């Protein structure tokens, strides 16, 4: 009876509670900027990774939620009606195309209205939020262009704002090239070093004018802002359903318990004042959202409606729905003088002993795969242009999408879960396979004799096709097209394509099964070649990884590398034929040149090279000890060594070395062997493999690393230009990202290293350069991925650690002469020869074109200019992008204006019209410059005059390029 009475009482109380005098409240969200008050710009946003803990597809459809409860479809499906419910609400977004393609015309029409009204702002606009450390600038441009042109085509909108809120440090190239040069008015980001952030809060310098390029100066500067903490809302203002947080809502019904309007308004005002105290002007931005939020958008907007309503009734501060564009315009209108920022925001640490410098090298195989396929994509687009792009396919579009996604800050960075990294690689492999078909069709057409008069003869049918191009595992000595038996009269024809704009000579190296072969050039003249025996180590790597890749062992095992020098015209190809020596005795074919090696027992050294360049190696260790170049008068003691850092396991302070974090413990030398790897872990210790090149240079703590393969930035060990560095990690805290190279110098010499993929590197000792080549770790570093960086390759149940086969390149030059090699050879490393193979009878192949000139045969681009993009667009238009490769003052001969004659570049076509555009080809360059905001800079001294090429003359069609300038054009040809 007592229980029943209690239930009746509870029901009565509940009934009374719900039958009070509640009424509808119309929240006033119409507020705009109010002068004289602190204006709190509420910027609703979500950060949706295109892969991290789940694959891009899993994130989009919302599957695999045992890992993470995230569904991008839900975000956008929920967002549209929430915005329609109140015209004052706003939202910004950057992961859009896939959802858009699935919508009905009715929904698309609605969304276009939201975009046109400014309620929905498309920011950043690339296919992903790319990384800024492990990405090459050409890839950054390509993926941004792909997204920007989609937005322009669908919405006739050009994004104004750079929104790089999650990458782990920020590059100078991102600021000036992927910021100002694409037409952005501002650039916002979340992650900077914890020491830097503390000082900037104190000095009110979180927001700056960032001048990222020494060469382009103020002409490419941009307003940039780092958030006070990260990209989440202030503490206690987080409103995602089922998020596990318990931030108090605004409970404004006085008939219910926990009424808290005044309490929440006071907390809002206090947070606003706190942020205003570290920010210049009376405008502050609150980033209202974080990863995969707004799956139930109304829960966020309901609370923000209430805050705007009640905070503005209170009147102490002004709250409004806003976007980064509105915020930027408000900052600009304040007519403030802003502090100047130069260089970059690397390296990044989020706390003591936690430098995010490990990911510069993490997953080196994926990094290498991205670099190789990026180069292939550049060349494939050129060949697609020469042939004429096919609407029906095959085409390069799939590879474009796959590479764009791979630039994401959890993709090429190496910071995703293993199954996600596998997904990125799979997408690239599918795109690469499709692009191979494009290359095959293009080269088949161009090598046919009917193409002698020009190119783009898409209506002609060919019987002889180049159809066996698959050689993606050349790095493990596996290339089926070259491993053929030529003793029965067949010839192996190698088409060598040069995607660069200058004539080029380089070594082609392929595995072969028989040494009794000769190599002939495109004139039929036998040329010198060299046979290099495959080492037992190379054969073992080949067998294991080929079986892992194919599921079976190859039928044959090559005995040699065949190496020969190929000379190829600019933007063209030459053909080389490998054929049997026709019964000649061993050695009767091409000369079997051996490396010139002379043992010098008296000093235990081995000399390699008999010409101007000589390298000396230790007989005992096998490592480099001396470098002599008689031509440049260089004689330098250079020692090569290998070692590893033991990765900290986090047992002391819970901070381990992991996918993101480089936390070295002790360093150990590695005894030189022909093979390093798989990295052993049977001692229970994770390891981070490095190579060190030591010299006698007196570098005085200074060294130089590239920014995304573009500008070089001076680094000083244990020093930061923007604050007094408290050194707690003398190794990890001096590591920087490298995409092109690293060098150091003294008063007489320069020591340079170039790399074949993104890595981390430093100069920990004067005169020494260090590269981290590989990492295998056993602990997670507690930054969200929840998985140790322990990559393996498996055959059935037999798994071993991943082996990396890569290259780095060394050179010593007199002071002031190293830039030529770093820039010109660096560009050749990025864009190697594209090789295509076919087997042909000698008689049949003679009817084909032996060499092809994509430009006028008498013309080549200047040595300081590269073609970054030559691509056919929709409607037959062509995208051309040209880059000056040198910085101001970098080289006495090549840091000068260069001219490109387009009539000679396109000598087989006639240009009808040409229009210069922004870097991402989504607006006219002239219109972009007219709209550009001009910012006042505090204490800025007068800079040297910035030089840029003049507008192109439609008659002469000559493009001028000054140092570090990149110019982009849309070209229409006469049909």
Q: Decide which of 592, 623, 656 is a domain's last residue.
A: 592
In the predicted structure, residue 548 carries a pLDDT above the cut 50? yes
| CA-closest candidate to residue 474, choices 837, 738, 851 | 837
Q: Measured between alpha carbons, how far is 609 from 17 in angstroms, rounded to an integer?
A: 93
Count CA atoms closer than 13 A to 945's CA, side-chain side: 2
Q: Measured between alpha carbons, how far is 474 from 466 in angstroms, rounded to an integer?
A: 18
Q: What is the pLDDT of residues 141-150, one digit of tens each?
A: 999 999 999 9
When pLDDT is averaged across residues 514-525 and rounded to a whole number, the result is 92
Q: Is residue 923 in some structural domain? A: yes
In the predicted structure, residue 17 carries a pLDDT above the cut 80? no
Q: Measured between alpha carbons, how far is 439 from 633 in angstroms, rounded to an integer?
A: 44
Q: Decide which of 592, 614, 648 is a domain's last residue.
A: 592
When pLDDT is averaged across residues 537-566 and rounded to a whole number, the result is 91
In this predicted structure, what is the pLDDT of residue 485?
A: 87
Residues whose CB is less than 8 angstroms from the CB of residue 262 and which lie 6 or more positions away in sequence, other chains included: none
Q: Which helix (H) or strand (E) segment is 140 a member of?
A: helix 137-155
Q: Is residue 811 in some structural domain? A: yes
Number of domains in the chain: 4
In this predicted structure, what is the pLDDT of residue 943?
A: 78
CA distances from 633 to 214, 610, 613, 815, 870 (A): 31, 16, 10, 11, 40
In the predicted structure, residue 569 carries a pLDDT above the cut 70? yes
Dihedral angle sign, alpha carbons of residues 441, 447, 448, 451: positive
CATH code for position 711: 2.70.98.30
324 and 211, same domain (yes or no) = yes
815 and 881, same domain (yes or no) = no
8 A C-beta contact, residue 563 and residue 515: no
If you average pLDDT over each of 486-495, 582-591, 698-707, which comes out highest? 698-707
Q: Is residue 371 in some structural domain? A: no
Pair type for strands 605-608 and 911-917: unpaired
In the predicted structure, residue 128 carries a pLDDT above the cut 90? yes
Residues whose CB is less than 8 angstroms from the CB of residue 123 and which lie 6 or more positions away in sequence, other chains included: 92, 93, 94, 159, 160, 161, 162, 163, 323, 324
Q: Is residue 217 in some structural domain? A: yes
For 580, the domain range is 474-592
In the predicted structure, residue 677 carries a pLDDT above the cut 80? no
Joined tokens for residue 546? 């080929």
CATH code for position 908: 2.60.40.1360
Q: What is the pLDDT of residues 427-464, one digit of tens each?
A: 999 999 999 999 999 998 898 854 444 444 433 333 33
Torsion angles phi and psi, residue 147, rounded to 5: -70, -45
Count CA atoms closer than 13 A to 377's CA, side-chain side: 26
8 A C-beta contact, residue 502 and residue 863: yes
More confident residue, 635 or 133: 133
Q: Running DSSP on this structure, what letter comes out for residue 585?
A: P
In this predicted structure, what is the pLDDT of residue 451?
A: 43
Q: Is residue 185 in some structural domain? A: yes
Q: Measured between alpha carbons, how far is 792 from 803 in angstroms, rounded to an integer?
A: 8
Confidence of residue 15 (pLDDT cuts 50, 70, 90): very low
More confident residue, 258 or 849: 258
Torsion angles phi and psi, residue 723, rounded to 5: -160, 165
| CA-closest candidate to residue 237, choices 43, 97, 47 | 43
Of the listed ranges 558-562, 675-679, 701-705, the least confidently predicted one is 675-679
| Whole-prediction pTM | 0.94
In this predicted structure, what is the pLDDT of residue 676?
A: 62
735 and 864, same domain (yes or no) = no
205 and 101, same domain (yes or no) = yes
Q: What is the pLDDT of residues 384-400, one digit of tens each?
A: 999 998 877 799 999 99
Residues whose CB is less than 8 angstroms from the CB of residue 732 and which lie 6 or more positions away in sequence, other chains included: 347, 355, 357, 358, 661, 662, 663, 664
Q: Measured between alpha carbons, how far is 704 from 764 in angstroms, rounded to an integer?
A: 13
8 A C-beta contact, residue 409 and residue 167: yes
Dihedral angle sign, alpha carbons of residues 24, 30, 35, 38: positive
Q: Measured between alpha carbons, how far is 522 from 850 in angstroms, rounded to an integer?
A: 5
CATH code for position 548: 2.60.40.1180
When pLDDT is averaged across residues 189-215 and rounded to a whole number, the result is 97
Round the average pLDDT of the chain to a whole number and report it: 91
Burial of 607 (0-12, 13-18, 19+ CB in 10 A): middle
8 A C-beta contact, residue 591 and residue 582: no
Q: What angle do CA 918, 919, 921 make, to 5 degrees?
A: 65
Q: Is residue 375 in some structural domain? A: no
Q: What is the DSSP string of 231-256?
A: SSPSTT----TTSS--PPP----TTS
876 and 815, same domain (yes or no) = no
In this predicted structure, what is the pLDDT of residue 620?
A: 80
In this predicted structure, what is the pLDDT of residue 336?
A: 96
641 and 537, same domain (yes or no) = no
In this predicted structure, what is the pLDDT of residue 674?
A: 46
When pLDDT is averaged across residues 505-523 and rounded to a whole number, the result is 93
Pair type for strands 572-580 and 517-520: antiparallel
Hey, is 820 helix, strand or coil? helix
In the predicted structure, residue 310 carries a pLDDT above the cut 50? yes
Q: What is the DSSP string of 371-405?
A: HHHHHHHHHHHHHHHHH---SSS--SHHHHHHHHH
822 and 860, same domain (yes or no) = no
Pair type for strands 186-189 and 222-226: parallel
Buried b (16+ CB within 10 A) or exposed e, 555-571: eebbebbbbbebbbbbb
Q: Measured between alpha carbons, how far is 626 from 613 in angstroms, rounded to an integer?
A: 11
In this predicted structure, what is the pLDDT of residue 466?
A: 59
Helices marked H in 667-706: none
809 and 934, same domain (yes or no) = no
Q: Decide which of 316, 351, 386 is a domain's last residue.
A: 351
Give percent of the chain with pLDDT exceeding 70: 92
648 and 714, same domain (yes or no) = yes
Pair type for strands 161-164 and 186-189: parallel
Pair type for strands 207-211 and 283-288: unpaired
Torsion angles phi and psi, residue 194, rounded to 5: -65, -35
Could you give the strand order of the β-sheet that contains 283-288, starting from the edge strand earlier in sequence? 283-288, 39-44, 318-321
In this predicted structure, what is the pLDDT of residue 280?
A: 97
766 and 821, same domain (yes or no) = yes
Reduced 3-state DSSP string for 543-578:
HHHHHHHHCCCCCCCCCEEEEEEEEECCCEEEEEEE
Q: Is residue 389 in some structural domain? A: no
In this predicted structure, what is the pLDDT of residue 439?
A: 93
In the predicted structure, residue 22 carries a pLDDT above the cut 80? no
8 A C-beta contact, residue 70 and residue 95: no
480 and 515, same domain (yes or no) = yes
754 and 861, same domain (yes or no) = no
Q: Measured between alpha carbons, how far is 232 from 240 in angstroms, rounded to an integer?
A: 12
CATH code for position 115: 3.20.110.10
Q: What is the pLDDT of residues 215-254, one digit of tens each?
A: 999 999 999 999 999 999 999 999 998 777 889 999 999 9
Q: Which helix (H) or strand (E) segment is 427 a member of?
A: helix 418-447
Q: Is residue 739 in some structural domain? A: yes
CA distances from 702 to 606, 715, 733, 762, 813 (A): 32, 6, 14, 10, 17
Q: Residue 627 forms beta bridges with which residues?
A: 615, 636
Q: Running DSSP on this structure, what letter comes out for residue 813?
A: E
Question: Could you identify the residue written with the tokens 């729905």?
Answer: 321
Joined tokens for residue 112? 């276009």
């Amino acid at each position: 009876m007592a229980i029943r009475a209690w239930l009746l009482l509870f029901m009565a109380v509940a009934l009374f509670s719900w039958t009070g005098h509640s009424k509808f409240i119309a929240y006033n969200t119409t507020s705009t900027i109010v002068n004289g008050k602190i204006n709190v710009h509420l910027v609703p946003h979500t950060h949706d990774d295109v892969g991290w803990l789940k694959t891009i597809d899993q994130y989009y459809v919302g599957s695999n939620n045992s890992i993470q409860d995230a569904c991008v479809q839900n975000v956008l499906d929920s967002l549209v009606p929430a915005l329609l419910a109140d015209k004052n609400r706003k939202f910004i977004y950057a992961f859009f195309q896939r959802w858009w393609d699935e919508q009905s015309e009715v929904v698309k029409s609605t969304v276009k209205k939201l975009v046109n009204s400014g309620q929905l702002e498309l920011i950043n606009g690339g296919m992903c939020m790319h990384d800024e450390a492990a990405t090459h600038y050409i890839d950054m441009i390509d993926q941004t262009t792909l997204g920007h042109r989609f937005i322009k085509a669908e919405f006739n909108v050009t994004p104004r704002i750079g929104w790089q809120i999650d990458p782990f440090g920020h590059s100078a190239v991102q600021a000036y090239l992927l910021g100002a040069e694409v037409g952005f008015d501002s650039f916002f980001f979340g992650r900077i070093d914890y020491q830097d952030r503390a000082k900037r809060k104190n000095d009110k310098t979180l927001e700056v004018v960032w001048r990222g390029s020494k060469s382009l100066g103020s002409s490419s500067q941009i307003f940039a802002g780092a958030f006070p903490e990260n990209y989440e809302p202030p503490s206690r203002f987080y409103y995602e359903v089922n998020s596990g947080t318990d931030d108090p809502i605004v409970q404004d019904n006085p008939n219910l318990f926990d009424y808290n309007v005044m309490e929440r308004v006071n907390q809002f005002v206090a947070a606003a004042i706190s942020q205003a105290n570290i920010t210049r002007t009376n405008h502050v931005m609150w980033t209202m959202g974080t990863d995969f939020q707004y799956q139930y958008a109304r829960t966020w907007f309901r609370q923000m409606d209430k805050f705007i309503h009640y905070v503005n009734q209170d009147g102490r501060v002004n709250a409004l729905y806003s976007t980064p564009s509105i915020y930027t315009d408000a900052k600009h209108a304040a007519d403030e003088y802003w502090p100047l920022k130069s260089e970059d925001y690397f390296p990044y640490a989020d706390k003591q002993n936690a430098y995010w410098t490990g990911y510069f090298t993490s997953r080196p195989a994926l990094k290498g795969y991205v670099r190789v396929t990026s180069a292939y994509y550049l060349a494939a687009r050129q060949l697609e242009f020469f042939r004429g792009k096919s609407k029906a396919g095959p085409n390069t579009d799939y590879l474009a999408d796959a590479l764009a996604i791979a630039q994401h800050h959890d993709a090429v960075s190496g910071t995703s879960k293993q199954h996600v990294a596998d997904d990125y690689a799979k997408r690239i492999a599918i795109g690469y396979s499709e692009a191979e078909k494009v290359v095959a069709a293009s080269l088949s057409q161009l090598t046919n004799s009917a193409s002698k008069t020009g190119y783009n003869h898409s209506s002609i049918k060919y019987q002889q096709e180049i159809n066996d191009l698959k050689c993606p595992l050349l790095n493990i000595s596996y290339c089926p097209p070259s491993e053929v038996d030529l003793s029965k009269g067949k010839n192996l024809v190698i088409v060598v394509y040069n995607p660069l704009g200058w004539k080029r000579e380089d070594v082609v190296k392929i595995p072969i099964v028989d040494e009794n072969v000769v190599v002939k050039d495109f004139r039929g003249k036998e040329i010198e070649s060299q046979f290099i025996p495959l080492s037992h180590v190379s054969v073992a790597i080949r067998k294991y990884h080929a079986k892992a890749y194919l599921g079976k062992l190859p039928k044959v095992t090559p005995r040699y590398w065949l190496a020969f020098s190929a000379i190829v015209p600019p933007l063209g190809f030459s053909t080389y034929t490998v054929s049997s020596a026709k019964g000649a005795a061993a050695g009767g074919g091409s000369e079997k040149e051996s490396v010139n090696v002379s043992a010098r027992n008296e000093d235990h050294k081995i000399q390699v090279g008999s010409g101007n360049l000589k390298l000396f190696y230790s007989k005992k260790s096998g490592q480099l000890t001396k470098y002599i170049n008689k031509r440049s008068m260089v004689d330098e003691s250079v020692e090569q060594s290998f070692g590893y850092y033991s990765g900290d396991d986090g047992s002391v302070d819970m901070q381990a070395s992991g996918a993101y974090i480089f936390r070295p413990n002790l360093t150990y030398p590695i005894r030189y062997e022909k093979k390093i790897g798989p990295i052993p872990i049977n001692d229970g210790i994770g390891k981070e493999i490095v190579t060190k090149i030591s010299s006698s240079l007196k570098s005085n703590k200074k060294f130089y690393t590239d920014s995304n393969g573009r500008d070089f930035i001076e680094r000083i060990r244990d020093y930061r230009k923007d604050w007094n560095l408290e050194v707690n990690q003398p190794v990890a805290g001096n590591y920087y990202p490298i995409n092109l190279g690293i060098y150091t110098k003294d008063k007489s010499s320069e020591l340079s290293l170039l790399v074949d993929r993104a890595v981390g590197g430093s100069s920990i000792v004067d005169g020494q350069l260090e590269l981290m080549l590989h990492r295998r770790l056993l602990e997670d570093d507690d930054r969200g991925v929840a998985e140790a960086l322990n990559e393996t390759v498996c055959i059935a149940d037999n798994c071993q650690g991943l082996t990396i086969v890569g290259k780095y390149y060394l050179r010593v030059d007199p002071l002031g002469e190293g830039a030529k090699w770093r820039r010109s050879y660096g560009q050749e490393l990025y864009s190697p020869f594209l090789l295509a193979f076919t087997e042909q009878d000698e008689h049949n192949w003679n009817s084909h074109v032996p060499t092809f000139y994509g430009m006028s045969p008498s013309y080549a681009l200047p040595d300081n200019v590269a073609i970054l993009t030559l691509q056919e667009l929709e409607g037959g238009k062509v995208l051309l992008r040209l880059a000056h490769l040198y910085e101001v003052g970098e080289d006495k001969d090549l840091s000068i204006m260069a001219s490109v004659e387009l009539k000679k570049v396109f000598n087989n076509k006639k240009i009808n019209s040409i229009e210069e555009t922004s870097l991402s080809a989504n607006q006219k360059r002239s219109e972009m410059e007219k709209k550009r905001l001009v910012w006042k800079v505090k204490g800025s001294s007068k800079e040297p005059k910035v030089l840029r090429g003049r507008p192109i003359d439609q008659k002469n069609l000559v493009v001028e390029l000054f140092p570090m300038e990149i110019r982009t054009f849309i070209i229409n040809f006469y049909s």
